[in-house]
Amino acid sequence: MSRLFLTGDVHGNPAPRFAANIFEEGNYLTPEDMVIVLGDFGLYWSPTSSSHYKAEHSNRMWLNNKRWRTYFIDGNHEGFPVLNEMMKLEWDTLVCNYVMVDTEFPKIRRLLRGYEYVLNGYTTLAIGGAASWDKESRVEHISWWKEELLSHEEEERVLSSCKHYDLVLTHTPPTNIKLKNLYGVTRDECPVAKFFQFLVDEKKLTFDKWFYGHMHRNSIIDSYYGLYENVVEIL
């Protein structure tokens, strides 16, 4: 059976997380093993005409040359036009569903919003997306895109997929968990987190464990697991 690892945001710089002397387990993995980044992957941001493209391309090549397959869900800090342009839809027998695959670096794959996957035997619901806290300091179509939020179609897909899962993988947690992570913040404007809280409150979605990134903090609150720099194996 394959091995499954989860980690938090890498923001376009995978080397500090997955270098051979840091992620030592990676030295023994195979292409059947999976490492999943829980949003803010950030390796697809700049168009080919940008001065930053060469560095991003080099980082994708570096990650694709690792022994395992890297999967990710999208976060809020993603270059959605570039992401959609450079990836194609493909059936993935390892996860028993469709994923988006990099046409140049096929070991880098995106789990789609609202779809069920079977990861190392675990029934899993993947839901990317979140609202940017720093939206006001960003420029639409350059450093911020409205696609960071769930569309109506994506929300409907999530609702139609709701049941009990072994694992739920998201970028942001539900509102109540997010606020506990923020220590003293009393409100949350993220509609994605609010939507998740609705699913939980109405018991439309039940689960054994929920893993998320976004908060840049490693934490455990009830059955919710926040990951940042840790790379955790799901056994």
* CATH code, domain with 117: 3.60.21
* Residue 110 confidence (pLDDT) above 70: yes
Note whether 166 and 124 are within 8 A (CB). Answer: yes
Question: Phi first, then psi: what are they for 57, rounded to 5°?
Answer: -60, -40
Q: Based on the number of CB atoms within 10 Å of its own CB, is 136 exposed (0-12), middle (13-18) or buried (19 or more)?
A: exposed
Query: Domain total for the chain?
Result: 1
Using one digit for the tens of pLDDT, what is the confidence trace for 188-206? 689 999 999 999 999 999 9
pLDDT of residue 37: 98
* Residue 184 confidence (pLDDT) above 70: no
For residue 133, what pLDDT band results from cuts at 50, 70 and 90?
confident
For residue 217, what pLDDT band results from cuts at 50, 70 and 90?
very high
Residue 217 tokens read as 């903090």
Q: Identify the CA nearest to 44 among candidates 104, 127, 119.
A: 104
pLDDT of residue 142: 86
- Between helix 191-201 and helix 175-182 the angle, nearest 10°, is 120
Using one digit for the tens of pLDDT, what is the confidence trace for 19-37? 999 999 999 999 999 999 9
* Residue 71 confidence (pLDDT) above 80: yes
**Residue range(s) defining the domain that contains residue 218:** 4-233
Across the chain, mean pLDDT equals: 95
